[in-house]
Chain A
Amino acid sequence: MQRSLNLVHTANSDQDFANADRATLLAKLDAVLPEGAWLHVKEDLLPYECDGLSAYRRVPLAVALPENEAQVVAVMRACYEAGVPVVARGAGTGLSGGAMPHEHGVVLSLAKLKRILRVDRNARTAVVQPGVRNLAISEAVTQYGLYYAPDPSSQIACSIGGNVAENSGGVHCLKYGLTLHNVLRVRVVLANSEIVEFGSDALDTAGLDLLALFIGSEGMLGVATEITVKLTPKPQAAQCILASFDDVRRAGDAVAAVIAAGIIPAGLEMMDQPAVRAVEPFVKAGYDINAAAILLCESDGTKEEVADEIARMKAVLEGNGATELRVSQSEAERMLFWAGRKAAFPAAGRVSPDYYCMDGTIPKRRLADMLIAITGMEKKYGLRCMNVFHAGDGNLHPLILYDANVPGELARTEAFGADILKLSVDFGGTITGEHGVGFEKIDAMCGQFVSDELTMFHGVKAAFDPRGLLNPGKAVPSLHRCAEFGRMHVHGGQTAFPEIERL
């Protein structure tokens, strides 16, 4: 009974891969990979035990470091034949435990596939391997006046393969879109080692939009081995407004007002007072430490466009009670304004031994309600929280500050985070805007989706990976897990998981 679960991926329970034949697998890896391209000694495996969310760790059976697509295929075939799980890994900067290993599985690192294969300046596309760093693409094409638009704050480190798997965003995605909007084609090795391609060098292809389905699929449906990205012309000019507010509600309303005025800023970010106070001493960005919240509001485009838009944004912000407004007067000053925002995570790391980054999205009109609710939660859990928001698209990054060495603080932090996610769903939003479900938010999925929807997700998974070998236990919870989790959610009059026996 237990063992038969190994053969077909189903929605009901998580599979156990403990019976996989380790010795045969290692012999196969040895046969298909060159010396040094696979690791199995414990101390070599430790650097791979977690991703950017270090609270969750597991040591894998082995790590494979293929150097080309043929070797990826060979590893996938070996694992498929041995019935061993595969967890793809890019740069390991993920923040939801997506690349955390499976204890009975192989970590498939794409780090060595880091070549930019082709740049077509005229067509404004680049074909890259999955291990290429996000920023490396922009650096390679800057000479043509082009760049790759999605700019996650981790862009110096994160891989394009990881971006595709997470559908990553950045501070400029309000105007320029997410990974989804900037990728034309992916070449994918499926769990059974077959190669398929989704999308093309042109804008449209025949059939279902499997490219859209694959983007954001968190390493559950296949392994990307080649990606064609769209390149965007660099804007001629950019300017940023730094606005202070003495009340978070007024700051939240100002965000809505900018959009309502028909403006789509290139970036629209919000930081609350604790975030400003954590950042300012280190960065000296000139942020107003007495403001209840600040907004960064950027315009880019032609010089004429920017001048026009900045004037309109200024008027809206002033009309909505900004207590102070500064417009960047030089590129250096603009970069300084942003330096503070971009230093928010490191600053959290400086003011607290540990921090936990959340990632819900809510309708913009609820931004202030959320900030006020989080203040209440700080009291409830006895923990501090600083908030940075991609305000323009309602994506929140509350950073809960804690100390893992204080007994009970991690558990309180997790409960705090779960409260924020629950409220995000109650406000009509989602538990993850860009960091993915991974391992971290697997239980929160039970609150956002009902069993029929989760069953559909498992069906999609099984269509690509019938044996459930890719990244098992991530992204979509089994129905049993949700039943046990208990904190179930009822929507549309459906009772959640009535068919699942409670254990």
Chain B
Amino acid sequence: MSSTTIDEFRRQIMLRTPLRIRGGGSKDFYGGAPGGRLESNLLDTRAHSGIVSYDPSELVVTVKAGTTLQELELVLAARRQFLPFEPPRFGDDLADATIGGAVAAGLSGPRRASAGALRDFVLGLRMMDGAGRELKFGGEVMKNVAGYDVSRLMAGSMGCLGVILDVSLKVLPVPMHEATIRLEVDQQRALEMLNRWGGEPLPISASCWVDGVMSIRLSGAEPAVRAAKLSLGGSPVDETDAQLFWTSLRDGKHTFFCANTAGATLWRLSTPSVTPPVISTDRTLVEWGGAQRWFHSDAEFDEVHALAKSISATATAFRTTAGRENVFAPLAPGVLKLHQALKHVFDPHGIFGHGRLNPEL
């Protein structure tokens, strides 16, 4: 069954017409416009689905790319394990997102600053390159330095290098205990607190500041969470409300993201956590201990990218109704050259994901 699916992928690749690799389509809005300048055919990964292997005591799951995140996370939850990078699901229906799409987009959720990014959990993968070759990189073990780390290069490659077939991910036990607290502080003060706490051995697993309220999630052994709650102060948040809140952040469903600001672009700024509140907009949402900031703006893309660069940050036009040519920050010329050379190695006929990651690729 699956091998015929893979044969079908190869058949499509061998036609050498531009291809847009797609799972559930939950991230169609993200990155350069699908297809870029070129008309492209769809390579739908969803028929290639299912768990290949899962051994909880190895902390590794291998899964086919078309498997939905929902299915994967249910399987893990049954063994009290989870994907620590909390990949966003987006979409009108949270059940649409696939693991292949999550890996290709490379996005991580609220736990990013404490647990690590999606790419940190990629242990290996099987892929098909632009010449229709099936290739396997990395593996199913935690430590593996044989060969260049191609699997992690595929994380965040936005379908411009090849088709991810199966991926092996490190998983972790669900924290024994979680609690969320809230404090009322201004942004400046919140950033100071977050950076100070970041330097202390506290079990903070997520943070968010918006509209004068800072939410902090604590995860770990019960006594550690209890002690941290006492030392941080603030008021406790009901468990169900907390769950809904962090999930809404993870999936981009928090009202902040949806606010109708008359066609303004939603920007994501990846910045050193210590950067003061520089963005002069009405509202900012701060995550990741200060290292991720969200805001709406109708400024020119180039202007926002330049501003971000001036503070050692990287801006992404995350959701926009404007043209999607330069949603990502421009690459330095030397780095762009490497991108083009790598693109040629993986996709010699230039068929995958035009313009999705970079207008030049």
Contacts and interface: CB of A to CB of B under 8 A. Distances in A.
B120 A208 contact: no
Interface stretch (B7-15, B37-45, B146-154): B146-154
A457 interface: yes
B328 A207 contact: yes
Contacts of B228: 302
Most B C-beta atoms less than 10 A away, residue of A206, A304, A429, A433: A206
A465 to B, nearest CB: 10
Interface string B191-222: 00001101111110000000000000000111
Contact of B174 (A256, A262, A361): A262
Contacts of B176: 262
B80 interface: yes
B248 interface: no
Interface in B77-129: 80, 106, 112-113, 116-117, 119-120, 129
B335 A197 contact: yes
Contact of A233 (B201, B220, B271): B201
Contacts of A145: 199-200
B329 interface: yes
Contacts of A301: 201, 203, 220-221, 224
B135 interface: yes
A365 B55 contact: yes
Contacts of A181: 116, 120
Interface string B221-238: 111101110000000000
A361 B144 contact: yes
Contacts of A209: 106, 119, 152-153, 155-157
B160 to A, nearest CB: 8
Most B C-beta atoms less than 10 A away, residue of A236, A260, A491: A260
A217 interface: yes
Interface stretch (A63-71, A103-111, A188-196): A188-196
A347 B156 CA distance: 45
A260 B145 contact: no
Interface string B163-197: 00000000011101000000000000000000110
B173 A302 contact: no
A408 interface: no
Contact of A203 (B136, B270, B346): B270
A154 to B, nearest CB: 15
A257 B43 CA distance: 42
Given A122-B274, A195-B334, A210-B335, A434 B143 contact: yes
A428 interface: yes
A198 interface: yes
A128 interface: no
Nearest to A476: B147
B117 to A, nearest CB: 7
Contacts of A452: 133-135
B146 A431 contact: yes
A274 interface: no
Contacts of A289: none
B30 interface: no
Interface in A443-471: 445, 448-449, 452-453, 456-457, 459-464
Nearest to A173: B143
A234 interface: yes
B4 interface: no
B171 to A, nearest CB: 11
A431 B147 CA distance: 10
A369 interface: no
Contacts of A269: none
Contacts of A459: 345-346
A305 B224 contact: yes
A244 B203 CA distance: 31
Contacts, number: 268
Interface string A171-189: 0011001101100000000
Given A204-B270, A207-B358, A445 B147 contact: yes
Interface stretch (B65-73, B259-267, B310-318): B310-318
B338 A210 contact: yes
Contacts of B202: 233
Nearest to B198: A124
A308 B222 contact: yes
A264 interface: yes
Contacts of A364: 57-58
B119 A456 contact: no
B258 interface: no
Contacts of B74: none
A307 interface: yes
Contact of B59 (A210, A259, A441): A259
Contact of A393 (B143, B150, B157, B196): B143
B195 A122 contact: yes
B149 A365 contact: no
B149 A212 contact: yes
B15 to A, nearest CB: 20
A216 B151 CA distance: 13
Given A462-B345, A464-B338, A123 B106 contact: no
A259 B58 CA distance: 8
B233 to A, nearest CB: 17
B112 to A, nearest CB: 7
Nearest to B135: A453
Contacts of B135: 452-453, 456
Interface in B289-318: 291-292, 312-314, 316
Interface in B331-345: 331-332, 334-336, 338-339, 341-342, 344-345
B106 to A, nearest CB: 7
A481 interface: no
Interface in A223-265: 233-236, 256-257, 259-260, 262-264
B314 A205 contact: yes
B26 interface: no
A361 B140 CA distance: 10
B341 A196 contact: no
A394 to B, nearest CB: 5
Given A206-B328, A207-B339, A452-B133, A394 B357 contact: no
18 contacts: A196-B332, A200-B314, A202-B314, A204-B314, A206-B331, A210-B338, A220-B148, A361-B144, A363-B55, A393-B143, A394-B58, A428-B139, A430-B143, A437-B145, A452-B133, A453-B147, A457-B148, A463-B341
Interface of A: 120-125, 144-146, 166-167, 169, 173-174, 177-178, 180-181, 190, 194-198, 200-210, 212-213, 215-217, 220-221, 233-236, 256-257, 259-260, 262-264, 301-302, 304-305, 307-309, 361-365, 390, 393-395, 428-437, 441, 445, 448-449, 452-453, 456-457, 459-464, 475-476, 491-492
Given A365-B58, A456-B133, A464-B341, 8 more contacts: A167-B149, A207-B335, A264-B172, A301-B224, A302-B203, A395-B142, A431-B146, A445-B146
The 8 residue pairs across chains A and B that have the minimum distance between CB atoms: A304-B223, A459-B345, A262-B173, A463-B341, A433-B143, A212-B152, A393-B142, A305-B224
